[in-house]
Structure 1
């Protein structure tokens, strides 16, 4: 049973496509390819992938898995589910929306600060900063907005409290990881 006809489910499918597309680079890097990594990710991360460091490969595989789970959540947000499943979908959708928008926003703000000269970066990383400003930041934000739209459309079937809880939890997690220098 569809929760909304046509337009309402498109956002869930957009999340699914976004998640699968986002999983592809991580999958390629986990398999040993550096396609797209050389100019678009931090050199330290590329070295870890090239050197096939076991813990980093595990992180890449977990990342692939989580991105595909995000795609599955998108699909889940297109259909009415039982109450516990609905709560989980809304919790995860709200959390993903906030986490992705926040993370992408940090990339964009940092990139703007570097581009305007308000913040300095090692000259060797200037090109990388532009990739984060023009590619990765907007990509994270686009995914977050798709999750937000899919979750809002899904909320018509109930569960607003769970979306807010997921969103606040994601924001708290992001703030703590940023403060700890992880995010």
Structure 2
């Protein structure tokens, strides 16, 4: 196992930091705090957390651990490991990059449409739309771009088709969930 140096390593560490920072709100909200949630997250979700709805608490815990898994993938992308591990990391990194950029992009596009008057939302949600436009959308996009950069630096010795396969799979899942209204 050798440690890579340079820009690729920095991007992998950036992914790890991003994942840990992003996991913190999920864990806080799962433990009963709504710190930061009231003004930045949809009111229905805040109510579910406040009411301690079991299935929603489970979702918060799972998403928190998935974000930590993303951080671990970021750390993995800083190192060269066996062929299978490298390909798995490339697959996961490529998939995460697409999912995060896509999800953040949807927030930003929707927010821009609302801000320009091309789309309407309930006036009570206009402020929330700005949080999604200026905070959550860019946060997802930044994470996705960090995953893309870390994966691109990692795949040189491993093989690009695994990263591309993960990215394509993530895109297809995202398109299907958006088309069916589940995403």
Which residue pairs with 1:102 in the alignment? 102
Which residue pairs with 2:26 in the alignment? 26
> RMSD of the TM alignment (CA)?
0.7
Which residue pairs with 1:158 in the alignment? 158
Matched, 1:180 2:180: yes
Matched, 1:170 2:170: yes
Cα distance in 1 between the residues matched to 2:177 and 2:35: 28
1:25 is paired with a residue whose SS is: helix
Which residue pairs with 2:120 in the alignment? 120
Matched, 1:86 2:95: no
Gaps of 5+ in 1: none
2:3 is paired with a residue whose SS is: coil
Shift, 1:172, TM fit: 0.7
Which residue pairs with 2:3 in the alignment? 2
TM-score, normalised by the number of residues in structure 1? 0.98
Shift, 1:6, TM fit: 2.8
1:119 is paired with a residue whose SS is: coil
TM-score, normalised by the number of residues in structure 2? 0.98
Cα distance in 1 between the residues matched to 2:7 and 2:99: 24
Cα distance in 1 between the residues matched to 2:65 and 2:178: 23
Q: Aligned pair count? A: 182
